[in-house]
Structure 1
Amino acid sequence: MATLTIWIGLILLVPIARAQLAPNIYGPPAQSPLPPIQVNVHLVNVFVTVTDANGAPVPGLGQTDFAITEDGHPQKIAFFERDTGMPLSIVMAIDTSGSVHKDLAIEKNAAHNFIHALLRPVDQMDLMDFNSDVREVVSFTNNMHRIDSGLENLSTGPATALYDAIYLASQSLASRRGRKVLVLISDGGNTVKGTDYPQALEQALRGEVMVYSIIDLPIMADAGRDTAGEHAMITLSEQTGGKYYYAEGGNLEAIFHKVSEDLRTQYLIGYYPTRRIADSQFRAINVTLTKPSPAREPYVIRNRTGYYANTGQ
């Protein structure tokens, strides 16, 4: 009886085994789709300003005149534009604390002339003032009447939230498209405990913001005054590809003219990074010229010193 049971079991198993080994004449069995492979390669845009020894813009350079590296690794230029006409988003942040109050009327007049000379229909400006707090006086607009009205309605206060102003202005610019510029007017004193300088600088770099610092009433070290804020404004401009100026002797009009000229004569270089690095890691950018300057003095190149990998550049 036991033998009969075994044979019956074997007979029943054979068809099952054959069914498992037989080819599927209808094609391979359906499989669940694999998740798509995502490769995030972002174009990195770098705005570059080239000037001669006297600070005058150098026009007429071409793509082959530039070389760019990221963390020391050469990059292939994928996009190049001279005298870029990309739209401008500008935040003008004006220090209205007691230490600079006496120059406020001059600053407002110079700012008025600068805005009317620079802004095109594709450009927009945001106006902020800062003292004890930071206030957005006029949100991004191209309406000259609104901007002029905002300049006439700046508020004053006793303290200076300089780093808060840099951080908030950079934050508001981060989501804008095109060129992003912060024009910062202050004596450099930060007297409010809030955002610190490293946080303000990081936000500016993450937002791709070019900072043009206009330092009012230069803080002289031999006068016993704190120069930390002044140095912070200088470093901020150097790190972001902007520039700093000292406002003295009523030269604000000339300074604003230089800023306007600077923004009209920028080169745009775009590249796709050759290396993939973890998000939030800072990547250093270095732009050089491939040919020596025809003048005795070498040309000066300004651009942001780097970016953070998770900015979607």
Structure 2
Amino acid sequence: MRLLSALAFALVVSGLLPAQTAPPIKVDVKLVNVFVNVTDASGAPVGGLTKDDFTIAEDGHPQKIAIFERESAMPLSIVLAIDTSGSVAKDLAIEKHAAHTFVHSLLRPVDHLDLIDFSSDVREVVPFTNNLKRIDYGIENLLTGPATALYSAVYLASQSLATQHGRKVLILISDGGNTVNGTDYADALEQAVRSETMVYSIIDVPIVADAGRDTGGEHAMITLSQETGGKYYYADAEHLGDAFQKVSEDLRTQYLLAYYPIHRIADSDFRRIDVTLKQPPNAHYNVRHRTGYYASPAQ
């Protein structure tokens, strides 16, 4: 080996053998997609904005917007997670009807939906599909149980969405109570953020007065939505259909801002995202997006 190396070196020096160049260094810079909703003071979507109306920063560092779309046509990967525990059982028939209407009005051929129910356990009823008949059949065959594995449902749904492409959406229908030990809130939230899942919480309110309600669980659902760029809605049985309609409208009026993050060394794996909007005089627009992402992939 030493003789061969010496011979090769001599040939290179003499010009009879070209010198080998160092292999190119490849840097894998991940495109970061940020879906943004802009609403006015009344909550109505604001359309017609341009790329120049937005600025975006990661951990305080300005970023160049590489991709901008006014209304994202990117496919939807949706997990519809329905609480079938005893505390919401009385509204299950209405939830089913609203779910049927929502799926038929929103789902396009390019979209896919996964249906799960959760009570004492989390169960995948229908795997990802755009077959409306299969989804309809699944909605009519949900199983009930006494307890509520809410955080496990969020964790497993987000884990499933991590393998999907396009916009990743979890629609969570529950009264907010988690009564099953195992996955905790922090784990559920981290998995949702790592998988880039937008959580839309429809909070079923069986009791109007705070007494008897799990307001802590409701707050957890609200925070899940706020941290992931989704939205939350309170809805009693009579207005579940309205809540589904608002989710559909929200998904149809999203702006897409994407950027390649500037390389930097940070102590934290979490990267915070801030989007600001140039607002016209006297306008009070609300800008909503996920608060950040993890540099390492979802588990």
| TM-score above 0.5 | yes
Residue 274 (str. 1) matches residue 267 (str. 2): no
Partner of 2:5: none
Give the match's secondary structure for 1:311.
coil
C-alpha contact 1:187 1:218 (8 A) present in aligned 2: yes
Q: 1:306 aligns with which of 285, 292, 296?
A: 292
Shift of 1:39: 1.2
Residue 148 (str. 1) matches residue 136 (str. 2): yes
Partner of 1:116: 104
Partner of 1:292: 279
Residue 253 (str. 1) matches residue 215 (str. 2): no
Residue 228 (str. 1) matches residue 238 (str. 2): no
C-alpha contact 2:86 2:144 (8 A) present in aligned 1: yes
Partner of 1:25: 14
Partner of 1:133: 121
Shift of 1:310: 1.6
Partner of 1:179: 167
Compare CA radii of gyration and give the structure with the larger one. Answer: 1
C-alpha contact 1:188 1:215 (8 A) present in aligned 2: yes
Change (3 A) 1:221 1:251: closer
Range with greater deviation from structure 2 (265-274 or 247-256): 247-256
Partner of 1:15: none
C-alpha contact 1:219 1:226 (8 A) present in aligned 2: no
Change (3 A) 1:110 1:220: closer
Paired with 1:23 and 1:164, the residues of 2 have a C-alpha distance of 63
Shift of 1:280: 7.0
Letter of the 2:279 partner, please give it.
P
C-alpha contact 1:126 1:138 (8 A) present in aligned 2: yes
What stretches of structure 2 of length at least 5 have no aligned partner? 1-8
C-alpha contact 2:88 2:206 (8 A) present in aligned 1: no
Partner of 1:61: 49
Partner of 2:3: none
Partner of 1:3: none
Shift of 1:293: 3.7
Provide the aligned C-alpha RMSD in A: 2.3
Give the match's secondary structure for 1:250.
helix
Partner of 2:67: 79
Letter of the 2:291 partner, please give it.
T
Partner of 2:200: 212
Identical aligned residues as a percent: 71
How high is the TM-score relative to the length of structure 2?
Answer: 0.91
C-alpha contact 1:293 1:299 (8 A) present in aligned 2: no
Paired with 1:23 and 1:311, the residues of 2 have a C-alpha distance of 44
Paired with 1:203 and 1:53, the residues of 2 have a C-alpha distance of 32
Paired with 1:222 and 1:308, the residues of 2 have a C-alpha distance of 36
Letter of the 1:251 partner, please give it.
H
Range with greater deviation from structure 2 (122-131 or 269-278): 269-278
Paired with 2:12 and 2:171, the residues of 1 have a C-alpha distance of 73
Give the match's secondary structure for 1:101.
helix
Shift of 1:255: 1.0
Q: 1:168 aligns with which of 156, 161, 180?
A: 156
Shift of 1:239: 0.5
Change (3 A) 1:237 1:110: same
Partner of 1:8: none
C-alpha contact 2:91 2:237 (8 A) present in aligned 1: no
C-alpha contact 1:78 1:271 (8 A) present in aligned 2: yes
